Amino acid sequence: MKKFILTFIILWFFFSCKEEKKVVVQEPVTIEEPEPVIAYGFNLDNYKVINDTIKSGESFGVIMDRHHVMYPKINEIATKIKDTFDVRRVRSGRAYTILASKDTLEQAQVFIYKHNKVEATIIDFKDSIISAYKHRQKIKIVEREIAGEINANLSVTMDSLRLRPTLTNTVADIYAWTLDFYRLQKGDTFKLIFEEKYINDTTFVGYGKIKAAVFNHNGEDLYAYRFVGDSIKKIPEYYDEKGNMLRRAFLKSPIKFQYRISSRYNLRRRIKLYGNRVRPHKGTDFAARYGTEIMSTANGTVIESARKGGNGNYVKIKHNATYTTQYLHMKRRKVRVGDYVKQGDVIGWVGMTGNTSGPHVCYRFWKFGKQVDPFREKLPSAEPLDPKIKPTYLEYIQPLKRQLDGIQLPQPEPLSFKQKEILATN
């Protein structure tokens, strides 16, 4: 009996499975449509996109004619947008984009004139209403940290870190009053916290603020923090860790940073050009490449701009009732008598005019009508932070200082086995 029941169960299970229909459930197939390509506020998928650069001698009209826009329409466009954009001012070398129809005619409908990587003027004439307006690309700000060790000079070191000259110049401007870049030594170090600007996360379009910096020179840390200390003017300045402004009344040098001091103020110097006789040298010679820009070291009015005898081309600037400066041996002068110049303004270029054996600028400094050595003078500094604001500033710089101090300096490459052998034998 038991065998009969077991056989019955097996046969029932077998025929039940055989009669069961197999149902295959298919997953729905989702076809993802590609994201539209949007640029300058237009869906580029709807146009034939033509990127080009304005050639020498080309005009707006010539470009439009080449892309099948008739001259009556070109004149209408130029007239209607003249208050926003003067089509006569397009410049050769500038990039532009044309959005043309996707039919066989491929007629231009939108002209995008790119002033730079960020700003453009868009001329839209695809409909009966013609318009021109400014467009600015969305910029992403990325904060970066960098550390470097001086191996030759600042510009060479920055270049080795793949940093562009514009950032080097900004660093030089920040420390122009407190650091003599000629005296930087091999082994001096620096750290920076700064911003970089990008379009679409990939296209670099320049640097933003340098938020904080520190130079270690001769074992001393020279900090610089960007801070708006004047709530009325709202102009950012750089201050040290005690709240003293880095900016001074006078720059340390009339040359930005690529120079060397070839001769200092010396009242008993012997000069080869005068038969090696003792003749006072009442200036400081900054040797630099021929044609290097010369800056005014402080605000003031030009009282002399001439070429005369051994001075060659020179400029003399009166800063106030106390101080006057003079810049000799220029290749060419940029300013005239009566011009008001600001600190850092270019007033001429390094040359060899007058009595000189090489390209340099002789920088002379008067105090109350007497020539003095500016490096031995205690020159006036800018006002420090308002005592009421100072506690806010000191609190603000604490995390920046921790961030700066935490940036790791580049480690020297390990010595090879051969180099170790050489050192061991010596």
pLDDT value at position 177? 81
pLDDT value at position 22? 53
- 209 vs 196: CA distance, rounded Å: 8
If 0-12 CB within 10 Å is exposed, 13-18 middle and 19+ buried, where does residue 208 land?
middle
Residue found under tokens 């994201």: 35
Q: β-strand 119-124 against 108-114: which pairing, if any?
A: antiparallel
DSSP per residue, 189-226: EEEEEEEEEEETTTEEEEEEEEEEEEEEETTEEEEEEE
| Amino acid sitting at position 258 | Q
- 218 vs 401: CA distance, rounded Å: 20
Among candidate residues 290, 285, 254, 286, the one with its CA nearest the CA of residue 269: 285
pLDDT value at position 423? 45
Give mean pLDDT, residues 115-137.
92
Torsion 184-190-195-197 (CA) sign: positive
Give mean pLDDT, residues 222-249.
86
Which overall architecture, per CATH, does domain 140-239 show?
Roll (3.10)
Among candidate residues 109, 117, 153, the one with its CA nearest the CA of residue 135: 117
Helix (H, G, I), strand (E, B) or coil at 254: coil
pLDDT value at position 256? 83
Is residue 181 within 8 Å of 172, Cβ to Cβ?
yes
Give mean pLDDT, residues 105-117.
94
Which overall architecture, per CATH, does domain 260-376 show?
Distorted Sandwich (2.70)
Torsion 50-54-55-60 (CA) sign: positive
Given a cut of 80, whether residue 242 has pLDDT beyond it is yes
Least confident of 17-21, 85-89, 268-272, 345-349: 17-21
pLDDT value at position 356? 85
Which runs of E-coded beta strand occur in 125-188? 131-136, 140-149
Q: 168 pLDDT band (50/70/90 cuts)?
A: very high
Residue 405 in tokens = 């101090």
pTM: predicted TM-score of the whole model, two decimal places: 0.67
pLDDT digits (tens, 9 = 90+) for 360-415: 999 999 988 899 988 888 777 777 788 889 999 999 999 999 999 999 988 765 54
Give mean pLDDT, residues 29-41.
78
Helix (H, G, I), strand (E, B) or coil at 286: strand
pLDDT value at position 119? 93
| Amino acid sitting at position 381 | S
β-sheet bridge partners, residue 248: 381
CATH for the 38-136 domain, from 3.10.450.350, 2.60.40.10, 3.40.50.20, 3.40.50.2300: 3.10.450.350
Given a cut of 70, whether residue 343 has pLDDT beyond it is yes
Given a cut of 90, whether residue 191 has pLDDT beyond it is yes
If 0-12 CB within 10 Å is exposed, 13-18 middle and 19+ buried, where does residue 88 land?
exposed
Given a cut of 70, whether residue 245 has pLDDT beyond it is yes
| Amino acid sitting at position 88 | R
Given a cut of 70, whether residue 156 has pLDDT beyond it is yes
Report in angstroms the alpha-carbon separations of 321 from 127, 252, 295, 371: 66, 20, 21, 14
- 52 vs 97: CA distance, rounded Å: 6
- 110 vs 96: CA distance, rounded Å: 10
Residues of the chain with CATH 3.10.450.350: 38-136, 140-239
pLDDT value at position 206? 92
| Amino acid sitting at position 144 | R
User: Is the model more confident about 31 or about 178?
Assistant: 178
Mean pLDDT of the chain: 85
Residues of the chain with CATH 2.70.70.10: 260-376
- 248 vs 383: CA distance, rounded Å: 9
- 403 vs 33: CA distance, rounded Å: 45
Among candidate residues 111, 67, 58, 53, the one with its CA nearest the CA of residue 88: 58
Percent of the chain whose predicted confidence (pLDDT) is above 70: 84
Q: 13 pLDDT band (50/70/90 cuts)?
A: low
| Amino acid sitting at position 285 | D
pLDDT value at position 200? 83
Q: 131 pLDDT band (50/70/90 cuts)?
A: very high
Running DSSP on this structure, what letter comes out for residue 24? Answer: P
- 296 vs 343: CA distance, rounded Å: 5
Those residues with Cβ within 8 angstroms of residue 18's Cβ, 6 or more apart along the chain or in another chain: none
Give mean pLDDT, residues 41-54.
94
H helices of 313-389, in order, are: none
